[in-house]
Structure 1
Amino acid sequence: MFVEIPAPAVVTPLRVARPPLPRRLLRAAPPYLYLTPALALLVIWTYRPLAQAAQLSFYSWNLLPSRPATPVGLDNYVRLFQLPAVGASLRRTGEVIGGLLPFTIVIPVVVGLLTQRVRGRARAVYQAMVFAPLLVAPVASATVWQWLLDPGSGAVNRILGTNTNWLHDQHWAQPAIIVMTGWHLLGFAVLVVAAGLAGINRDYTEAALLDGASRGQITRWITLPLLSPTLVFLALMTVLLAAQWTFPLIDTITQGGPSGATTNVYYLLWDYSFHSFDAGLGTAAGMLLFVVFGLVAMVLVLLSEKLSFHDD
């Protein structure tokens, strides 16, 4: 005996009427409305001045309102490549970056690894002491360093038993500025490294210990590779901001001297604009600096993304 089962009825889905376009736009608007103030400030205070600087780099102007800017085409950029001071300032900028890397990467990693086991109140005190130099105004620290490095009665010369004129000798002025800036930034870099170390999962270390790995092997093959995105970030900050970080000390202590020994590219473009009153040449130097450091930043960011992806 066969029972005939009727075919299931096909249920036609109800068509929901789409709301009108104005209502859909109104629903999608809130996130963009929240972003509007920040985007407006970014355009007003960043992109608009950048566009004006790019435009001014094609003009000759001495910053006097009574004298209008004169278009000169690419002459400012041609002059930059012909001035010997530009090449020398780029070389000194490279020296500053190389001199600061130990203070922003090497020493912070060593300190971070050695103090990983500090806990409780002692850790808070240690972090406060390490971070304290960053809270000191650069101009105030420059005054103290001038006293410490005084060739006659400075504490540094007394301790070392020398009479070196650290800030007015062509061979020592640049290293002195680098050490002052490195001391100022060391605490910030140490805290960044400590944050990176805290973000590493302890399971990796415990698994390696169970497999018989030594502390040195764990540091070399586990901790440092997992810390690499943090180190790339510190390297990026050093490359992009090294010349800017040294500016307050240079302007306060050496004014680019002696004989241009501490004039890096950042101080040079400021000198062209506000000492020589050649705004076109100064902005042209700034645009070249922006392009070159922008390319370097792009490479380091891509490297950081690859390292982060590798960690995942």
Structure 2
Amino acid sequence: MPEYTLGLFANMYPAFDGDYKGIFIRQMVTDFESLGVVVKKAVKTSHSTAGYIPFYFDSLCLSRDRGLDLIQAEYIPHSSLIPYLFGRRDIPLVLKFHGDDARIYPFSNPLNRHITRAMLKRAAYVITASEEMQKPLLAHGLDPDRCATVHTGVDTRFFTTGSREEARRLLGLSMEKTTFLFVGRLHPWKGIYEILEAARRCPNLDFVFVGPGVVPDHPQNCRFTGQLPPSVVRRWLTAADCFLLPTYTEAVPAAVMEAFACGIPAITSDAGGCPEIVEEGKNGLMVPARNAVALTSAIQWMTDNPSERPRMGIEARKTVCERYDHTILIKKLMTIHQDLITR
């Protein structure tokens, strides 16, 4: 017998292996199914705006499905709009906020504020990807007794420690040079230009960027690989000395969790949920967002203290295994679901 049947709505879902859009949502679905939950999906796999037409049609059909025990929408209000308007009222609706849908969207204009408040009022429960994300939602009517922080987490058996020397040999990297790695979309909000400025200030260091997007002007010590499958991303994480994410806005970042699971420290900004995973001096360093000078100083410290990096890497993996392993978090989410269903 299945545990229960979940209707999942997500406007970002990977269309192929190596597609980063919503990859953590696909991991969540896989985890649910491995534990006996039946997941019926309405998902947008296309990157184009036109992809919303079939997505909303599928959402309408799924919203009325009589076989569901629970509905969960990822990203608000893009994925929750149809369940909110047409979803069954006899089963719980769970909203999951991932980042800008909590921090930026509700404050953009009065209409967005009204929509967010209506969604929160309708929801039986609210999930946020980081603790700090709940603060702006409280101003819009979030009930603190009907919310929890549950990140999707990371597969610590897949993203794990390995031979740095072997990974560097396979990737054709120098064994001597200190290498800093960024993984994610090449978007200004991720702090890309601050990393590029730091690279210009540190010509003796190597900087590698893994992920989709338009390659910006860059100094010679920067390398852009484009989008890569997870197995190759893991190899880059194993080969690197330190991970970089000087983001302007973020939940608890999945890329940092993956880096930590592979046993390397990180330098992140102090924005969003980064302080919830990065502990200054223990498993990484934090710098102010939009501050290339501070980022350069942190990069230089990591370079000048090579004996500290392995120690921080050990603590980094410990952090993820104890708090962000996907098997721990999916069971926490299932407990919330089952409690809602049996009320």
Pick the TM interval, shorter chain: under 0.3
- Identify, as 1 or 2, the structure richer in strand: 2
Q: Which has the higher contact order (CA 8 A, sep 6+)?
A: 1
Please give the TM-score of this superposition, normalised by the length of structure 1: 0.23
Please give the TM-score of this superposition, normalised by the length of structure 2: 0.21
- Identify, as 1 or 2, the structure richer in helix: 1
